Chains A and B, each alone.
Chain A
Amino acid sequence: MVDLATILAGLGDAFTLSNILFVLAGVVLGQFVGAMPGSSQEMTIAIAIPFTLVFTPLSAIGFLIGVNKGGLVGGAIPAILINMPGTPDASATALDGYPMTQKGKPIKALKMALYSSVTGDTFSDLVLITVAAPLAVVALKMGPVEIFALIIMAFALISGLIGGSVTKGIIATVFGLLISTVGLDPEHSTPRFLFGFPDLYSGFPISSVAIGSLAVSVIIARLANMSGGMRPALHIPRDQTADQKRVSLAEYLACRFVLLRGALIGVGIGIVPGIGSTAAAFMSYASTKQAAKDPESFGKGDIRGIAATESANSAVGGASLIPLLTLGIPGSVSAALLIGAFLIHGLQPGPLLFEQQGRLVYGLFGAMIIANACNLVFGLVGLRLWSRLITAPESIVFASGLVLCIVGVYLSTGGIFGVYVMLIFAALGMAMNALNYPVVIFVIAYFLGPRFELSLGQTATILRGDVTNLTNHPVAIVLLLMSAFSVFWLGIRPALKANKRKVSANSSDPLD
Chain B
Amino acid sequence: MAIELKMPALSPTMEQGTLAKWLKAEGDRIEPGDIIAEIETDKATMEFEAIDEGVLEKILVPAGTEDVAVGAVIALIAGEGEAPEPAPAPAPKAEKPAPAAVVAAADPAIPAGTNLVSTTVREALRDAMAEEMRRDPRVFVMGEEVAEYQGAYKVTQGLLDEFGPKRVIDTPITEYGFAGIGTGAAMGGLRPIVEFMTFNFAMQAIDHIINSAAKTNYMSGGQMRCPIVFRGPNGAASRVGAQHSQNYGPWYASVPGLIVIAPYDAADAKGLMKAAIRCEDPVVFLENELVYGRSFDVPDVEDYVLPIGKARIMREGKDVTIVSYSIGVGMALEAANTLAGEGIDAEVIDLRTLRPLDKQTVLASLAKTNRLIVAEEGWPTCSIASEIVSICMEEGFDHLDAPVMRVCNEDVPLPYAANLEKLALIDAARIAEAARKVCYK
Are A and B associated in one complex?
no
Chain A contact residues, CB within 8 Å of chain B: none
